[in-house]
Amino acid sequence: MRCRKELAGSHELEALRSKRGFLCDMDGVIYHGNRLLAGVPAFVRWLEENGKRYLFLTNGSGRTPLALQQKLSRMGLEVDASKFYTSALATARFLQSQSPGCSAYIIGESGLFNALREAGIAMNDSDPDYVVVGETHNYSYDMIARAVHHVRGGAKLIGTNSDLTDPGEHGIVPACRALIAPIELASERKAYFIGKPNALMMRTGLRMLGVHTSEAVIIGDRMDTDIVGGIETGMDTVLALSGVTDEKHMRSFPYCPQYILNGVGDIAGDNV
């Protein structure tokens, strides 16, 4: 049966506004590239004025929370760095809990390197315990060959997230799952992905907010990460049509979001 959900009405918006905790995706919900989306300042102001607990979750692993804070600041939105939780931080937390003091061969950007370093994970290009792959603009055959060598030698393969593509300034670009695919094929090993829709990241976010699943919602623009991850975690889900998923695309999935909004400004009463 196709999803028959429609845009949230006034009654549904009131139910949504009564929630205590808000986990919110970024790209496609808060901004597109370097452009803040309509209604976002009003939404963040509403969160603050009503004492809501909120956290921005992103599958991106390239930027640190400080870099994300600075990016929003350049767009005119001031948010504390403690309000950001990335797939790089989730990956570091996972490895730290699984194998304290382990080492890793890393393919990624500064956000991933910093997160792993701060978690006490040593960089190792000789005999690492893990090969960790995130998004990067500097990807080479040599990196693939080294990663394959380590994985075939016994290192465990970890991906920061399972996104296949991301929106770029000039169109769709390959994301983490596309980058890790040749390593999987050549090593004949499957990667374990940490970011959304993995419930590990969602549940950590809820613990950071100190709220129960019944008191929280996740807001995202992707059915295959934000929405299914929220459903599997037991949270109410909010699809924002300001990103990659439109209503037609939404109806092709075998599950539905609890709420559908034009954008997060709807929650604050600032119609987008």
Asked if residue 234 lies in contact with residue 39, where contact means CB atoms within 8 angstroms, the answer is: no
Q: Is 127 a catalytic residue?
A: no
Task: Compute the Cα dihedral for 139, 142, 148, 149 and give only its sign.
Answer: negative
Hey, is 99 helix, strand or coil?
coil
How many angstroms separate the CA atoms of 261 and 22, rounded? 15
Whose tokens are 């600075």? That residue is 70
Identify the helix (H) or strand (E) that includes residue 218: strand 216-220
Q: Is 166 in the active site?
A: no
Q: Which of 25, 163, 166, 221 is catalytic?
A: 25
Distance (Å, whole) CA 16 – CA 227:
15
Write down the catalytic residue from 27, 163, 226, 236: 27
Q: What are phi and psi of 177, to 5 degrees?
A: -65, -35
* Beta carbons of 38 and 71 less than 8 angstroms apart: no
Q: Among all residues, which ones are annotated catalytic? A: 25, 27
